[in-house]
Structure 1
Amino acid sequence: MMNSTHVTFFTLSAYFDTGRLKYLYFLVVMSLYTLIVCCNVLLILVICVNRTLHEPMYLFLCSLFVNELYGSSGLFPLILVHILSDSHTVSAPLCFLQIFCVHLYGSVELFTLGAMSYDRYVAICFPLQYHMWMSLRNVCVITACVWLYSVLATVVMLSLSAPLQLCGNIIHKVYCDNFSVVKLACYDTSVNNIFGLSYIFTVIVGLIAMILYSYMRILKVCLSGSRRTRQKALSTCTPHLSSIINFSFGAFFEIVQGRFNMSSLPNTLRIFLSLYWLTCQPLLNPLLYGLSLTKIRIICKSLGTSR
């Protein structure tokens, strides 16, 4: 084991020499990032400008799109720099800043999806009480709590990781990750592990249980309701359920990859799967909700024809 040192930079070892293909990879990633930014900004503006969309579901969607815009901006610029660079190092402050952005994105995403599940549950199972329970004030309070709690949890996580004495500076990824830094620590990291596992098994499992319960109740109402009720529930719940499944798959693999040795998988596959939850979700959600939700689709079409 190396002696404890004050680490001033980290090396992202998952990058590999691609020769002239790096310019092609740069264009592909740049196009993906541009598409994510344009789609999310467009839908944020559509929801903010049109008063007809100032309803709980669309306000939660706006928060979701803001988070995906923020999360992508915490990831892609640094990746674009490293694709063209021969030196894949990042300063310690910038690395911890990226860790903050990435983990805050994941926390806000999960909590917002949970809030949206509760919103659909109330709308379908308790339609008469919906406007009382999901008033504009309550939606704003829920959204503020989602962001505030996520910021506090991420700050606590970083406050436990930043002071660690490290015996190395090599991160086996294309971006900085908290658990990758913790694994470099020279000494006992029990407090970090306890906090991480507690967060996973209380908050994350609790949210997933709430989401499953909400959709079990929604399914029960749909099966016993009229055809019109089933169609309405499907039109609003299908994109949300698809988003939850997509995010859960990516986040689950990221957690498993951090905790267990996945060296048996090809390096390219591991890189793709570690980036999946950070790239596919911000791209999928605007397309999914923009095409599936009638109000958003009609307004976007009207904007296109007005030109």
Structure 2
Amino acid sequence: MDNSTVNMDIISMEGLKVSPESSGPAFVLLLLIYIFIMVSNVGLVVLITMERSLHQPMYLLFCNMSVNDVFGATTVVPRLLSNVFTPISERYIHYIDCVVQAFCSHFHAGVSHAVLMIMAFDRYVAICSPLRYATIMTSRMVVKLSVSAWTAAFVSVAILLGLTIRLTRCRRVIINPFCDNASLFKLSCQNLLINNIYGLGSAVVILGSSLGSVMLTYLRIAMVCLSGKNKVLSSRAVQTCATHLAVYLIMMVASFTPMIIHRRPEWADSGKVASVMFHIVPPVLNPIIYGLQCKELRLKIVRVFIKNKSFHK
């Protein structure tokens, strides 16, 4: 194998631009965020798994979200941490590792949207058809919906990356902080029409169906709550939906940011941090919002802390 071939398999990744004096604080901040994501989300999954009283559709969906958040953060954050103290000119990644990171990144995004759609449907049935909730949202149905969400995301991303890795490469520099599909196919000098069509088309389908279904679902829920006679129950339902929508809107903003940056190269430097937010902000907020907002989960968490305190005394 000649040197040029070897060199093309080593990709230079510019990543985040951090000054030497800011490297220490940036590393500590990223590390603390990553530790919090791991502890809070894994803790939530363990708590729900161990407590039989929490083996309900809504909490099983929380498990889906937490597992996916851990996966998404692990896809991006460890490499960012390893690059903080590395000069930009010495940041390299093997092409195959870049493909794997891009696959995991897009897979995480696809599952995130799919799970939030299922959660919106769950809340819709619970609030708009409470008498039929137990018969519709069974554990078996939740498993089916979850498997469908993960499978659909896997197939969609596999096709996306399959179209990209078939391309020959004439460049070896990635400006983005982490590998994604757009960064990979920009390394090629071939005709990218098919990649652009499928990439844009799949993004429109995923984001469009996600945004449309979630907004219609919560609009219907809001109408039912506002017209309901039980004002206390309605206000609780609205509060629940409001937090779900807040998380969803944050995720949508974080989803659109990388797409905009790739089409606006002049914004690349200022948008690098924003492009990482999708893998950091929702995984940080989800366990806080869902864990503390749900009364049953909140009580279980409090009991765990009380037990630990009494045990150490």
Q: Into which bin does the TM-score normalised by the smaller protein fall?
A: over 0.9
Contact residue 235 and residue 292 of structure 1 kept, 8 A: no
Contact residue 44 and residue 287 of structure 2 kept, 8 A: yes
Counterpart residue number, 2:311 = none
Counterpart residue number, 2:165 = 162
Matches within 5 A, 1:9-158: 9-16=10-17, 18-86=19-87, 87-158=90-161
Please give the secondary structure, in 1, of the residue aligned with 2:11. Answer: strand
Counterpart pick for 2:238 among 234, 238, 249: 234
1:211 to 2:214 alignment: yes
CA shift, 1:159, in A, is: 0.8
- Unaligned stretches of 5+ in structure 2? 309-313
* % same residue: 28
Please give the secondary structure, in 1, of the residue aligned with 2:20. Answer: coil
* Paired letter, 2:146: T
* Paired letter, 1:142: L
Structure 1 segments (4+ residues) deviating >3 Å: 14-17
* Paired letter, 1:294: K
CA shift, 1:5, in A, is: 6.5
Counterpart pick for 1:200 among 199, 203, 225: 203
* Paired letter, 1:94: D
Counterpart residue number, 2:289 = 288
Matches within 5 A, 1:251-290: 251-258=255-262, 260-263=263-266, 265=267, 267=269, 269-290=270-291
Partner Cα separation in structure 1 for residue 25 and residue 207 of structure 2: 38
CA shift, 1:152, in A, is: 1.1
Q: Deviations over 1:112-152 (max 9, x none)?
A: 00110011111111111111111110000000111111111
Please give the secondary structure, in 1, of the residue aligned with 2:152. Answer: helix
- Unaligned stretches of 5+ in structure 1? none
Counterpart residue number, 2:249 = 245
Partner Cα separation in structure 2 for residue 26 and residue 275 of structure 1: 15
Partner Cα separation in structure 2 for residue 121 and residue 174 of structure 1: 38
Partner Cα separation in structure 2 for residue 15 and residue 198 of structure 1: 29
CA shift, 1:84, in A, is: 2.0
Larger mean CA deviation between 17-26 and 99-108 belongs to: 17-26
CA shift, 1:235, in A, is: 3.9
More helix by share: 2
